[in-house]
Structure 1
């Protein structure tokens, strides 16, 4: 880790955490509705070794009649407990691989399911919990379908609001930074540091601009098999003398974010750019330093930067 600069030149401090506190994520929960005859039922489960998948049924499962074909060496033993079945791969599944899971329920119903590898594609994210309904015409299932429909509608409305919020000049500047077109922006580089972290190397470049500051994180994924994905970015106020390790509960501030790709493949490099308006440094009592953090998909903090309002020069 890089030590802080002397006080006279310390407009900012950059630290990259190779080991940091994990952050929570929303659980990916969905429902599967099984129609037709038993031999026509096809339900796909998207699994990954990064997360276990729990199946929830409306009645208890029978452990003796629940099995996964060809699981040895590829999965943990399938666990059947009450109305739940637990599936956990030991390694990623190849795109062409398919595994058949059969679950026997207490009333003698057999439920076949197909296990495939999860991907970043919409609709194929890792399943962490799947609620399985055998008789979708029941009141419970219909209520679940109505709840999911409302959830999808709320998600679409939020997407519209988010796209509207992101159509700003600051987002345009962040896009230029992320694409490498720094000369087309009004920013001047203030500091640059390179850090070695767990699974990834990060180059942090801090820019000063007229009434704005900017930070460019360039991440090189050193993991031999897993892609690097951005989970969350935070910009919060930090009190004088407050330690940014492990977590700061300051007031959140707005910012513009752009990245040049959805994920960074093993051995490749990608950019995450953030633009901060000078007004974000202002508080009711004057001004404050800001803590900018980026978290990768597994919930670990990849890097954080302390920003001083003098970066957003007039």
Structure 2
């Protein structure tokens, strides 16, 4: 793909969707499910992802003959049952509005329904698919109580980290500048346009601007979601040196949490000049933008000249 930028600004190409995953950033999707005794209870949701295996682990053996996936022929690999475990794997991504019923029959004859759905970017535990689900019938059992305590501690840790991050962002100059850029208030910032680029793939079109500042640099992506059914959102951003893999801090602000098909939004990023220093020497940086499915959407090279006096 061609862009309007010189080679020093953009690495390989602006859009690299499908070329790379956010390596090392996916956390194991392990969580617990506690079955309800109420006969009218809604099926528990299981979040699955194309070409990713999800394992449901039960307290008792599973009846393989009477465990079945309904309506998923051709969309899933054959359901596997090994002892107390049920294994499911979609052959491709599910559409955002799709759902498939999985009926698991346990050795004692109990039938347990589940609804297989694609993960939503808004789920706190939604770092991707559920890789393992520990399913408990006896809420008071030792293993169930230990699992519930472990999950509660994990949620509390996540909430504390999020609160601390929000507190720091609330007093961060870089995040304040990124917020202004995200709403188009460039004249209210100290940045000057240095270059512009654009590119697209089958899922998204990006129009990008690189800004120069005194002691800071910024990049603004204007994104249009071209996908017919899937929303677009930012999963993560990485800022690393061109000669090392050390991650630097970058302030990120978006005009919307996610973009539904056909809509547009803005992702603004601000980089402090200290990020360009590597043991006292100025170095170029790679800014990588990863979308909701973990694929790298864009990669931009930032030169130290952007933080000129």
TM-score above 0.5, yes or no? yes
Query: Residue 94 of structure 1 corresponds to which residue in structure 2?
Result: 97
Aligned partners of 1:35 and 1:135 also within 8 Å: no
Aligned partners of 1:195 and 1:203 also within 8 Å: yes
How many positions carry a matched residue from both structures? 299
Aligned partners of 2:95 and 2:230 also within 8 Å: no
Q: CA deviation at 1:275?
A: 0.6
**1:160 equivalent among 148, 159, 163:** 163
For 1:81 and 1:225, the matched residues in 2 are separated by 35
For 1:267 and 1:56, the matched residues in 2 are separated by 39
Q: CA deviation at 1:171?
A: 0.5
- Structure 2: tracts of 5 or more residues without a match: none
Query: Residue 57 of structure 2 corresponds to which residue in structure 1?
Result: 56
For 2:209 and 2:21, the matched residues in 1 are separated by 25
Aligned partners of 1:190 and 1:208 also within 8 Å: yes
Aligned partners of 2:181 and 2:220 also within 8 Å: yes
- Structure 1: tracts of 5 or more residues without a match: 240-248
**1:302 equivalent among 285, 297, 300:** 297
Query: Residue 35 of structure 2 corresponds to which residue in structure 1?
Result: 34
Aligned partners of 2:218 and 2:271 also within 8 Å: yes
Q: CA deviation at 1:82?
A: 2.4
For 1:31-180, list aligned pairs within 5 A.
31-36=32-37, 39=39, 42-48=42-48, 50=50, 51=52, 53-72=54-73, 77-88=78-89, 91-92=94-95, 94=97, 100-115=101-116, 118-122=119-123, 125=126, 127-167=130-170, 168-180=172-184
Bigger radius of gyration, 1 or 2?
A: 1
**1:204 equivalent among 201, 208, 221:** 208
Q: CA deviation at 1:214?
A: 0.5
Aligned partners of 2:121 and 2:233 also within 8 Å: no
- Compared CA separation, residues 36 and 235, structure 1 to 2 (3 A): same
1:241-273 Cα deviation digits (max 9, x unpaired)? xxxxxxxx4222112111111112222222111
Query: Residue 188 of structure 1 corresponds to which residue in structure 2?
Result: 192
For 1:63 and 1:215, the matched residues in 2 are separated by 53
For 1:175 and 1:273, the matched residues in 2 are separated by 7
Query: Residue 214 of structure 1 corresponds to which residue in structure 2?
Result: 218
For 2:141 and 2:210, the matched residues in 1 are separated by 57
Q: CA deviation at 1:121?
A: 4.2
Aligned partners of 2:251 and 2:271 also within 8 Å: yes
Aligned partners of 1:4 and 1:13 also within 8 Å: no
For 1:290 and 1:93, the matched residues in 2 are separated by 35
Query: Residue 272 of structure 1 corresponds to which residue in structure 2?
Result: 267
Q: CA deviation at 1:102?
A: 2.5
Q: CA deviation at 1:105?
A: 1.7
For 1:18 and 1:101, the matched residues in 2 are separated by 32
For 1:188 and 1:177, the matched residues in 2 are separated by 12
Query: Residue 291 of structure 1 corresponds to which residue in structure 2?
Result: 286
Q: CA deviation at 1:115?
A: 4.6
- Compared CA separation, residues 118 and 308, structure 1 to 2 (3 A): closer
TM-score by length of 2: 0.85
For 1:31 and 1:64, the matched residues in 2 are separated by 25
For 2:259 and 2:288, the matched residues in 1 are separated by 18
- Compared CA separation, residues 130 and 272, structure 1 to 2 (3 A): same
Aligned partners of 2:3 and 2:198 also within 8 Å: no
Q: Identify the range of structure 1 (144-153 vs 47-56) with the bigger mean alpha-carbon deviation.
A: 47-56
- Compared CA separation, residues 193 and 28, structure 1 to 2 (3 A): same
For 1:223 and 1:116, the matched residues in 2 are separated by 18
